[in-house]
Amino acid sequence: MIKHLRIDNRLIHGQVAVTWMNSIGADKIIVCNDKVASDKIQKMSLPLAARGNTVYVFTIEETIKYAQEHPNETMFVIAKFPSDGLAILESGIQVDDVNVGNAAPIAGTNYVQINKSIFATKEDAEVYRKIAAIRGGKLRSQLTTMNESTDFLAALSAAGL
């Protein structure tokens, strides 16, 4: 079961490796993105950033297959982009919680700053709304476990997306 799906294009960093893992109580971290999974350097370095936690770096397809084959494991999935998270949700796998954590601006895109740690394009906003539709019309954002959870759809609207 996917206990927590975090959309965070920074992938594994201190917040993820320590505070989120402790808060979630997951058995392992799965980094989910097709391009990252094909990059040998990232596949080798991301587990090192996880401070002793078990880490798998999978494509979207591998993530879905692993979750289907291991329903009794508690997984913390980090999707690099909202489209990665949407693909997981559209597969029908049980996901207890979805959180938009970090989304750094991508050079060459027409991005808008949503809050201090999230930037999005119009296309990203459409994907976030699809995610929310699957989640009963709700999507939250929470940077760290110490921060308050906020309504991400309201933040998108306030930013003009």
| Amino acid 14: pLDDT | 76
| Amino acid 158: pLDDT | 97
The pLDDT tens digits along the chain (161 residues) read 999 999 999 999 877 777 898 899 999 999 999 999 999 999 999 998 887 889 999 999 999 999 999 999 999 999 999 999 999 999 999 999 999 999 999 999 999 999 999 999 999 999 999 999 999 999 999 999 999 999 999 999 999 99
φ, ψ of residue 26 in degrees (nearest 5): -80, 155
CA distance 74 to 65: 15
CA of residue 46 relative to chain centroid, distance: 15
| Amino acid 51: pLDDT | 78
| Amino acid 85: pLDDT | 98
Which residues lie across from 141 on neighbouring strands?
100, 150
CA distance 44 to 118: 27
| Amino acid 89: pLDDT | 98
| Amino acid 38: pLDDT | 98
| Amino acid 49: pLDDT | 87
| Amino acid 50: pLDDT | 84
Check residue 103 and report its DSSP letter.
B
Q: Residue 4 catalytic? A: no
**pTM here?**
0.95
From 10, 13, 65, 135, the catalytic residue: 13
CA distance 112 to 12: 24
Q: Where are the domains of the chain?
A: 2-158
CATH 3.40.35.10 correct for 2-158: yes
